[in-house]
Amino acid sequence: MWKEIIESLKLILTEIDESIWIPKEWEEMWILSIHKKGNKMELKNKRGIFITSIISKIYEKIRMKKYKDRFKEEMSRFQCGGIEGRSTADHLLILNAVLDYNAYLGWSTYI
Give residue 104's pLDDT. Answer: 94
In a domain, residue 4? The reply is: no
In a domain, residue 2? The reply is: no
Are residues 83 and 62 both part of a single domain? no
Are residues 80 and 111 both part of a single domain? yes
Domain that holds residue 34: 25-66
Cβ 80 vs Cβ 90: under 8 Å: yes
- For the chain of 111 residues, list the mean pLDDT of each consecutive stretch of 10: 87 85 84 86 85 86 84 75 74 88 93 81
Give residue 105's pLDDT. Answer: 95
The model's pTM: 0.52
Are residues 109 and 88 both part of a single domain? yes
Phi, psi at residue 17, to the nearest 5°?
-60, -45
Give residue 97's pLDDT. Answer: 92
Domain count for the chain, please give it.
2
Are residues 87 and 60 both part of a single domain? no
In a domain, residue 5? The reply is: no
Concatenate the DSSP letters of all residues of 16-80 into one string.
HHHHT---GGGG--EEEEEE-SS-TT-GGGEEEEEE--HHHHHHHHHHHHHTHHHHHHHS-TT--
In a domain, residue 86? The reply is: yes
In a domain, residue 97? The reply is: yes
Are residues 110 and 81 both part of a single domain? yes
